[in-house]
Structure 1
């Protein structure tokens, strides 16, 4: 929670001014009923106009100053809340970029969206209310009771009895409301998750005619959110009618006892009016207090969720570059590498030992689930090996500055991600300061030049969301150009040519030979693998065979079946060999 408060204390001067202005408003509200009592008892009852004008003028002047203080207080409260929300969103967004794969697993995309939008907004609103009315309301209740007792303790005794009971009730409502709104936020996460999944898989849903099923699934989660929200709001809304009932009853009792005391000489008319005025202000403060409890209950639930992300320790410092980029191909050594995903029951990789020379091209074959992608993701430390060690360029992978390591790598994932920007911007996303000549060279190597020339705006053609307007092969080649533009020392291609025809793929592989980099290529095509310097075969997370195309064709039954099934066009045999 201290980390959350640190975002507010950056604006301590504005916080101090807002609190000072709020205290001035509070003092004015507590003093005005006293002035009113004086004006009634010494002016109206005594029929002295000068006294009425004197106290009336003071009340008018103080009210005007209070009004100005209220406007200034709102300005500073808004300044603190808006800037805190801005800083918090920026910090959380940046932090989410540095989460390890294991840490990111604990926060789904929909949950992070809710955190950065709804939860931050709840905190932002609560900060504004805190500086504007949240502290003022309880202080007004306490101050109102104290001032009423000072005016006439016997008449004000009624307030002293009922106010503590109402405060205890409100505190109980706060605790219960926090639990309910925490459940509401969880329900909101699930609704956001459903929306996110459905938008991402819209084509698949239509193709499988599953719209009705997904609609029912969304409706179920949406209904659960509505039910829990109504339940929470219903509980919180019960507070106001009860508060009004108790306070109106208290005011009636004050008027009745006050009349009795006036008749017996135990109180003056102005004192009773002042106490009723204090009771009315306390009732208004209790109403505000109930609104505060509603906001604070939500904020408390949101703060708990935000603190979970704030408390996550990430390796941010090591992401600042500390050395010039490497421009040569780097060797990679793997010594008994093991890896297991969090909560998995078995290893994804087991005792992988191999030496990759600088500039070599390694083709990695294997059935689905054999560990090909898992191995590639260990190189840029998207995951960390759970056993063994990886040495890149003569240095243990953990000795590398994380940014320096990743800047030496060009990574093309299996699932291509394109942004809603131009073709040029998607390519230069791999190197921010790239020149147009570098963009053209990367596009040429990725066999994109003719494709881009055929587009209406060339390199300035805007890619639709997630690249839906492009073919699978076009998206893969843009992703490859993005990796090549940085002239990487290590190039990782995770089944990145699967959508390319044989001619385009051959031209691409020929172009890659001109790049000074060590290449690891996951593929299921023998025609691709045979052009590599070495071929690895993975099975159940183990490196079972290595060698050139000729060596494996002579010694590996798996490779022989795969080669024969593809060269003879035996589709059924191809499926059998892969699965």
Structure 2
């Protein structure tokens, strides 16, 4: 999984990879030359008292060491640059895929999990990639080159070295196999902790209103303890690896010194040769340690790659058209013909055979009890999700055939829970139309009944807005969201219970201003308050996902029991007349 994820994303860095291989080749060859040079200085210089040989050999070793260090530093930098580039590309790819997701896919993964996969999981992959690239050539060359150079020094001693590698590989392999599922569990528990933390932060008002601080602390403590528990189990396994390597290395060193002393005593080996042999043992050990460290990080990176791959392999249920319609003639005429919608895994459909028509120059209202499918119906128009049956047409074209950019220009949705981005009032208003002038922004604010409170802010249009608009009241957020859609000037306006946080007086003024501003456009309003929609040209009544009535306020009061029941739950007979 990890190799399949990385291989295609390393191709754009082929030139840097070639440079990395060359640098590591120089680094490794220089490292392998040093013990042999050291043996020559000892045998031909120190033991014979030849000062010139010692100085000359020492100068050569210094030069080779400097070359090795320079190549190692350059290789490390190049490897890190490639790994960070791959991680950047991968984050961008995941971000683009998440942007394509419909509400269905986002709900399946959850926001906390998607954030963890885009940040923590890719960070694990980046760390592993740095290690792989750093050891790409150096580790194999130092290991096999060290063994080959050791064989040149003395074959019997090399047999001792051969025992070192398989013992170490077996010990490390058994631990790594046990670590992989633990690291997968760690990433899942990081998801859980992030989800609890995110819910606590976003729902802090509810938590405090119900005095559930202790309950939330316990929830987070449970998630945190589970993460700690899995982390400790993985840590205990990691802790076994280095002592195991160290013990095997020390025993091998003792064995080499013991055998080497006998070889020197018999005249079969020079003292410099034993020193060189110990140097090659150190290099072989270092290469094994490098691979060991790589294998320690591999399970976590493998788990991260699996989770990232899951996101990248998920296709949105809202598929862009192959041959999109890029222009339409009309003013946002909306037709819903026999629309059905069912969430994956749900036993019942949210919408069943819904029919609706909203004409330009008119206001069409949708009303119904909680859970009747009003918001879902509006979500079908901008393709937050696609209908599982029937058609949704804008200006005579199925929305599934419209170019996404045309849909964005044609349809303006004010969601039930409007979201504001961190920035300023102006940047939020220009979100749908970046080139809008300040005069257009103020005009939209006037219509949305938000101009007065924006003028009251110290910096006006440049006043800061925190993430989610948490430094503004609910009514202020709703009015800014309405103004944002007005700045974009779509042909079809969708207001999903967008006036619920407004007081009746502001609501009335806003609706009057909207009627004038959107006189030539198509307007669809979802509302719970009858007072908001009673003047609409057409009212559609939903009940349990079905269209149970269409007409004006007066005709529905006379002929539709469902609508009459909703109205009389809010107004008296005299007020409803």
Q: How would you bin the TM-score normalised by the shorter chain? A: over 0.9
Is 2:509 the partner of 1:524? Answer: no
Instruction: State which of 538, 551, 575 in structure 1 corresponds to 2:555.
Output: 551
Question: CA–CA distance in 1 between the matches of 2:500 and 2:270?
Answer: 93
In structure 1, the residue corresponding to 2:569 is in which secondary structure?
helix
Question: CA–CA distance in 2 between the matches of 1:107 and 1:35?
Answer: 59
Shift in Å at residue 502 of structure 1? 2.3
Is 2:543 the partner of 1:539? Answer: yes
Q: Deviation per CA, 1:253-287, whole angstroms, max 9, x where unpaired?
A: 11111111222233222222211111122223333
Correspondence for 1:445: 447
Correspondence for 2:76: 74
Question: CA–CA distance in 2 between the matches of 1:107 and 1:5?
Answer: 26
Shift in Å at residue 333 of structure 1? 2.0
In structure 2, the residue corresponding to 1:10 is in which secondary structure?
helix
Correspondence for 1:140: 142
Correspondence for 1:416: 418
Correspondence for 1:577: none
The CA RMSD over aligned residues, in Å, is 2.5
CA contact (8 A) 2:337 2:356 kept: yes
Correspondence for 1:485: 487
Flag the 1:328–1:477 CA change in 2: closer, same or farther, 3 A: farther
Instruction: State which of 560, 565, 569 in structure 2 corresponds to 1:561.
Output: 565
Question: CA–CA distance in 1 between the matches of 2:466 and 2:14?
Answer: 45
Q: Deviation per CA, 1:423-443, whole angstroms, max 9, x where unpaired?
A: 222222221111112111211
Correspondence for 1:13: 15
Shift in Å at residue 319 of structure 1? 9.2
Size of the aligned set, in residue pairs, is: 572
Question: CA–CA distance in 1 between the matches of 2:444 and 2:321?
Answer: 26
Is 2:76 the partner of 1:48? Answer: no
CA contact (8 A) 1:365 1:522 kept: yes
Structure 2 unmatched ranges of 5 or more: none
Correspondence for 1:240: 242
Question: CA–CA distance in 2 between the matches of 1:315 and 1:56?
Answer: 69
Correspondence for 1:252: 254
Alignment of 1:463-502 (within 5 A): 463-502=465-504
Q: Deviation per CA, 1:192-234, whole angstroms, max 9, x where unpaired?
A: 1111111101111111000001001100110111111111121
CA contact (8 A) 1:347 1:541 kept: yes
Q: TM-score, normalised by structure 2?
A: 0.93
Shift in Å at residue 8 of structure 1? 2.6
Q: Deviation per CA, 1:96-143, whole angstroms, max 9, x where unpaired?
A: 212122222232211122122212222222222222236423432222
In structure 2, the residue corresponding to 1:567 is in which secondary structure?
coil
Instruction: State which of 207, 210, 215 in structure 2 corresponds to 1:208.
Output: 210
CA contact (8 A) 1:148 1:278 kept: yes
In structure 2, the residue corresponding to 1:47 is in which secondary structure?
coil
CA contact (8 A) 1:327 1:488 kept: no
Question: CA–CA distance in 2 between the matches of 1:273 and 1:468?
Answer: 69
In structure 2, the residue corresponding to 1:390 is in which secondary structure?
strand
Correspondence for 1:347: 349
Instruction: State which of 74, 93, 96 in structure 1 corresponds to 2:98.
Output: 96
Question: CA–CA distance in 2 between the matches of 1:26 and 1:402?
Answer: 54
Correspondence for 2:382: 380
Q: Deviation per CA, 1:53-82, whole angstroms, max 9, x where unpaired?
A: 343332221111111112221221232222
Question: CA–CA distance in 1 between the matches of 2:25 and 2:106?
Answer: 44
Q: Deviation per CA, 1:483-529, whole angstroms, max 9, x where unpaired?
A: 11111111111111112222222222222223122111111222222
Question: CA–CA distance in 2 between the matches of 1:363 and 1:557?
Answer: 17
Flag the 1:52–1:569 CA change in 2: closer, same or farther, 3 A: farther
CA contact (8 A) 2:328 2:395 kept: no
Q: TM-score, normalised by structure 1?
A: 0.93
Flag the 1:347–1:379 CA change in 2: closer, same or farther, 3 A: same
CA contact (8 A) 1:325 1:407 kept: no
Shift in Å at residue 317 of structure 1? 9.8
Shift in Å at residue 315 of structure 1? 9.1
Shift in Å at residue 242 of structure 1? 0.8
In structure 2, the residue corresponding to 1:238 is in which secondary structure?
helix
Is 2:176 the partner of 1:174? Answer: yes
Correspondence for 1:192: 194
Question: CA–CA distance in 2 between the matches of 1:121 and 1:464?
Answer: 27
Shift in Å at residue 23 of structure 1? 1.6
Question: CA–CA distance in 2 between the matches of 1:416 and 1:474?
Answer: 10
CA contact (8 A) 1:339 1:348 kept: yes
Question: CA–CA distance in 2 between the matches of 1:116 and 1:320?
Answer: 28
Correspondence for 2:509: 507
In structure 2, the residue corresponding to 1:362 is in which secondary structure?
strand
Is 2:362 the partner of 1:360? Answer: yes
Question: CA–CA distance in 2 between the matches of 1:503 and 1:461?
Answer: 26
Shift in Å at residue 184 of structure 1? 0.9
Structure 1 unmatched ranges of 5 or more: 575-579
Flag the 1:445–1:419 CA change in 2: closer, same or farther, 3 A: same
CA contact (8 A) 1:119 1:306 kept: yes
Shift in Å at residue 481 of structure 1? 0.7
In structure 1, the residue corresponding to 2:101 is in which secondary structure?
coil
CA contact (8 A) 1:358 1:518 kept: yes
Correspondence for 2:296: 294
In structure 1, the residue corresponding to 2:370 is in which secondary structure?
coil
Flag the 1:443–1:326 CA change in 2: closer, same or farther, 3 A: farther
> For structure 1, which segment, 220-229 or 452-461, has the greater mean C-alpha deviation from structure 2 after superposition?
452-461
CA contact (8 A) 1:318 1:403 kept: no
CA contact (8 A) 2:5 2:305 kept: no
